[in-house]
């Protein structure tokens, strides 16, 4: 799976993908990203530490994925608060991501409905962004997933909520970004953006619950969460509701 | 908190900030860094893996922070040994960092008093750099903190020492860099560079002692240190002396 | 030790080097890399997330190391599958790396013997690349190490195999890349590319076995492997055969 993601979270993202059986590859040089996106099973574009160079790689990879029919996921980190990436994310929507995954502020900003987030945190609950998510899904023709204490996932028509998880996810840098990568892997595996996005959120939530039960704090939580991502094989216990 | 830091330590730095209740954001594109630094609570500039691109982002962020009255911290990794970053760090001093945090070799090189370090390690004890630190604090009008077995923190007039900690900190890549970020967070929280710098060093040392007591080696130390950063809420046991 | 390596694995690589007593320094700005490579004890060049900028730093560092007689190691991540890095790696061979370390697909591609890998994974066993490794060693005048369930290390004349280890290494992002760094450190310490490469593979395998015996999954394996890298001091139990 081809990941163009931010340098803060690359390691956790790669390890999370390996834990669920996916094969991560992180290639962000424009000279390579275009061709690689066309042959990957899925592509993740996360703008967390985007630069002019990687923005160009993201544009090429998104277009290439769209042209090849490869599902790709957009994670609009901190969009709304910073002009350069906000413009880039708006432009990337034109390549029709199979899934957009972000927090409420980011999704509202991307949908043109919010007043802007404050960096990487969201000041709003996921349900506050439900209307924006539905509208955005209508525009992309794909799925929009809003992370929160209860996640909201919609294809514009159907809306599914995923509960559970653990607050320790919010104290682990890159947990949300790794979730975006798992969404891409699950969409590739299931062939369906809504099913894949819900399954990834359910998998992450169940693993977080298992890890939180044994972690001594936010530091030991991260490796235990990876162990649990590997151990979870049955998603039927997840709190998935309409 | 806005961090322009090196790619080796971004993850640990972000997790350390989350552990103490701060909100990290890592934005190093020049097109974004200037505006972001102006609205952040504090800014960290760490030159560990600086490139021409991120050097420009650092110049803009430091100037922007200075103009906005935002406290910012300079971590002059390997300054003295490498010409490009040594020149950059010297230039950044013009934006008057609230705190400079480094090892003895780096502080001596930055003060023009040393013969140059050997990469990221210091070959000198913190106290060897005390005079250089006092001189440097006089030039910046801020605080200079020298890390070592016993840390030396000075505002040019008052000098405080922080003992304790663990040698395992020196075997964990990025522990010193994360300390620089915690200094920035504490300066923002306390409103005072000397108080903030001492508190951050004390917090790191106490957490290191707690983690070292239960770690089986340098690998398990890192997550346990993050747990301990989260658990430490009382700094009164720290070995802070004049 | 000077590492020009990919941003996904920098942290694990630095911590692995610290665990075995080496001193990592990651400098990838062209303005700094050339001079730094000349004074380092060894240099690692890993093309995992290479860009045009870091490619230039790699060219300069490899040439500088070669001119100074500093041993350097080439890790040709995903070479064969992507044109930009494949061309770069071929060019870097001209600076005669002391060791090339990769998986079977990468070594076959670099030797011009393979049909190309699929990204960072190898679809072939290490022994499948033995002939290619011998041929490549003949061209560079150095050692070629092929990682697999049983590693194959050759100087073109003598071939040594290293068994043991753990499948959990393949589920830890950067374990192979960290091995490349340890090869460089061991070559510097032993003064002999074949001895150094074999010792590094043996050290990694023994540490992996110790960590796998106590890890609860792929997430907890990584910190325990670092602990074990630190704890292993005797390589005589390693499964090294002709």
Region A94-110 average pLDDT: 97
From chain B, the residues in CB contact with C227 under 8 A are 216-220
From chain C, the residues in CB contact with A223 under 8 A are 219-220, 222-223
Which segments of chain B are extended strands (E)? 2-4, 43-46, 72-75, 99-103, 143-147, 151-154, 159-162, 240-241
- Interface of chain C against chain A, CB under 8 Å? 6-9, 11-12, 48-53, 78, 81-85, 119-121, 171-174, 216-220, 222-223
Q: Which residues pair with C101 in a beta bridge?
A: C145
Query: How many whole angstroms separate alpha carbon A100 and alpha carbon A79?
Result: 12
**Are the beta carbons of C69 and C41 closer than 8 angstroms?**
no
Region B214-233 average pLDDT: 98
Region B181-206 average pLDDT: 98
Find the residue in A nearest to C52 (Cα). Answer: A29
Q: Which subunits have 3 or more CB–CB pairs within 8 Å of chain A?
A: B, C
Find out whether B26 is annotated in a ligand binding site: yes
Find the residue in A nearest to C121 (Cα). Answer: A23
Residue B195 burial by CB count (10 A; 0-12/13-18/19+): exposed, middle or buried? middle
Query: How many whole angstroms separate alpha carbon A71 and alpha carbon A64?
Result: 10
Region B132-158 average pLDDT: 97
Question: What one-character-per-residue DSSP string does B96-161 give?
Answer: --SEEEEEHHHHHHHTT-SS--BTTB-SS-GGGGHHHHHHHHHHHSSEEEEESSSEEEE-SS-EEE
Q: Which subunits have 3 or more CB–CB pairs within 8 Å of chain B?
A: A, C
* Cα–Cα separations (whole angstroms), residue B62 to B9, B72, B98: 20, 7, 11
Region B214-236 average pLDDT: 98
Query: How many whole angstroms separate alpha carbon A79 and alpha carbon A105?
Result: 8
Region A46-59 average pLDDT: 97
Q: What are phi and psi of C48, to 5 degrees?
A: -50, -45
Taking phi first (over 0 means left), then psi (-120 to 50 degrees means alpha), and beta for anything else, what does residue B69 get?
left
pLDDT digits (tens, 9 = 90+) for C172-211: 999 999 999 999 999 999 999 999 999 999 999 999 999 9
Residue B112 CB neighbour total at 10 angstroms: 12
From chain A, the residues in CB contact with C78 under 8 A are 25, 27
**Are the beta carbons of B117 and B82 closer than 8 angstroms?**
no
For chain C, the average pLDDT equals 95
| Closest CA–CA distance from residue A227 to any residue of chain B (Å) | 14
C24, C27, C229 ranked by CB distance to B82: nearest: C27
A23, A36, A226 ranked by CB distance to C218: nearest: A226
Contacts 24+ apart (CB under 8 A), B206-209: B206/B164, B206/B232, B206/B235, B206/B237, B206/B238, B207/B231, B207/B232, B208/B164, B208/B165, B208/B166, B208/B168, B208/B169, B208/B175, B209/B164, B209/B165, B209/B166
Query: How many whole angstroms separate alpha carbon C175 and alpha carbon A223?
Result: 15
Residue A99 has pLDDT above 50, yes or no: yes
> Hunting for tokens 């060693």 — which residue is that?
C137
For chain A, the average pLDDT equals 95
pLDDT digits (tens, 9 = 90+) for C99-108: 999 999 999 9
ipTM, two decimals, is 0.94
**What's the confidence (pLDDT) of residue B177?**
98
C217/A231 touch (CB, cutoff 8 Å), yes or no? yes
Region B97-105 average pLDDT: 97
Alpha helices in chain C (DSSP H): 10-19, 30-39, 52-68, 83-92, 104-110, 130-140, 175-190, 193-212, 218-231
Find the residue in A nearest to B214 (Cα). Answer: A216
**What's the confidence (pLDDT) of residue B113?**
63
**What's the confidence (pLDDT) of residue B117?**
46
**What's the confidence (pLDDT) of residue C121?**
53
pLDDT digits (tens, 9 = 90+) for A199-240: 999 999 999 999 999 999 999 999 999 999 999 999 999 999
Domain A2-241 is classified in which CATH homologous superfamily?
Ribokinase (3.40.1190.20)
pLDDT digits (tens, 9 = 90+) for B20-55: 999 999 999 999 999 999 999 999 999 999 999 999
3-state secondary structure of B64: helix
Region A21-43 average pLDDT: 95
Find out whether A116 is annotated in a ligand binding site: no
**What's the confidence (pLDDT) of residue C119?**
46
> Residue C157: which pLDDT band, with cuts at 50, 70 and 90?
very high
Find out whether B174 is annotated in a ligand binding site: yes
Region A176-184 average pLDDT: 98
**Are the beta carbons of B6 and B77 closer than 8 angstroms?**
yes
**What's the confidence (pLDDT) of residue C123?**
60
**Are the beta carbons of A139 and A145 closer than 8 angstroms?**
no
Q: Which subunits have 3 or more CB–CB pairs within 8 Å of chain C?
A: A, B
Region A58-77 average pLDDT: 98
The secondary structure element, H or E, covering residue B182 is helix B175-190
> Residue B124: which pLDDT band, with cuts at 50, 70 and 90?
confident
pLDDT digits (tens, 9 = 90+) for A118-150: 444 556 789 999 999 999 999 999 999 999 999
Residue C120 has pLDDT above 90, yes or no: no
**What's the confidence (pLDDT) of residue B119?**
46
User: Is the model more confident about B217 or about A81?
Assistant: B217
For chain B, the average pLDDT equals 95
Q: Which of C15, C120, C215, C219 to mutate to test the interface with A (most CBs of A within 10 A)?
A: C219
Residue B216 has pLDDT above 60, yes or no: yes
> Residues of chain A with pLDDT > 90: what percent?
94
Q: Which of B8, B11, B37, B231 to mutate to test the interface with A (most CBs of A within 10 A)?
A: B11
Structure tokens at C170: 């393949």
From chain B, the residues in CB contact with A218 under 8 A are 15, 18-19, 226-227, 230
Residue B203 burial by CB count (10 A; 0-12/13-18/19+): exposed, middle or buried? buried
B14, B23, B32 ranked by CB distance to A82: nearest: B32
Region B151-160 average pLDDT: 98
> Residues of chain C with pLDDT > 70: what percent?
95
pLDDT digits (tens, 9 = 90+) for C64-95: 999 999 999 999 999 998 999 999 999 999 99
From chain C, the residues in CB contact with B12 under 8 A are 11
**What's the confidence (pLDDT) of residue C205?**
98
- Interface of chain A against chain B, CB under 8 Å? 6-9, 11-12, 48-53, 78, 81-85, 119-121, 171-174, 216-220, 222-223
C82/A27 touch (CB, cutoff 8 Å), yes or no? yes
**What's the confidence (pLDDT) of residue C118?**
46
Q: What angle do CA C7, A11, A160 make, to 5 degrees?
A: 130
From chain B, the residues in CB contact with C29 under 8 A are 49-52, 84
**What's the confidence (pLDDT) of residue A135?**
97
C52/A36 touch (CB, cutoff 8 Å), yes or no? no
**What's the confidence (pLDDT) of residue A124?**
75
A48, A219, A222 ranked by CB distance to B225: nearest: A219
Residue ranges of domains in chain A: 2-241
- Interface of chain A against chain C, CB under 8 Å? 7, 10-11, 14-15, 18-19, 23-29, 31-32, 35-36, 53, 222-231
Region C129-154 average pLDDT: 97
From chain C, the residues in CB contact with A226 under 8 A are 217-220
Query: How many whole angstroms separate alpha carbon B47 and alpha carbon C38?
Result: 21
From chain C, the residues in CB contact with B51 under 8 A are 28-29, 53
The secondary structure element, H or E, covering residue C154 is strand C151-154
């Amino acid at each position: 799976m081809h990941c163009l993601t931010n340098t803060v979270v690359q390691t956790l993202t790669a390890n999370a993908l390996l834990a669920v059986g996916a094969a991560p590859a992180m290639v962000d040089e424009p000279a390579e990203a275009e061709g690689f996106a066309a042959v990957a099973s899925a592509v993740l574009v996360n703008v967390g530490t985007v630069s002019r160079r990687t923005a160009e790689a993201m544009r090429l990879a998104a277009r290439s994925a769209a042209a090849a029919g490869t599902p790709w996921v957009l994670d609009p980190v901190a969009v709304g608060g910073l002009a350069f990436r906000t413009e880039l994310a708006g432009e990337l929507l034109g390549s029709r991501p199979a899934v957009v995954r972000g927090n409420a502020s980011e999704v509202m900003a991307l949908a043109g409905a919010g007043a802007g987030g404050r960096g990487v945190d969201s000041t709003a609950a996921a349900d506050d962004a439900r209307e924006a998510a539905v509208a955005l899904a209508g525009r992309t023709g794909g799925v929009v997933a809003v992370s929160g204490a209860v996640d909201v996932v919609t294809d514009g028509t159907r809306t599914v909520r995923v509960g559970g998880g653990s607050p320790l996810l919010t104290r682990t840098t890159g947990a949300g970004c790794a979730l975006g990568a798992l969404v891409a892997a699950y969409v590739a595996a299931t062939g369906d953006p809504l099913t894949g996005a819900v399954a990834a959120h359910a998998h992450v939530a169940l693993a977080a619950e298992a890890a939180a039960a044994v972690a001594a704090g936010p530091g030991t939580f991260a490796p235990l969460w990876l162990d649990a991502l590997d151990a979870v094989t049955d998603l039927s216990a997840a709190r998935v509701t309409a």
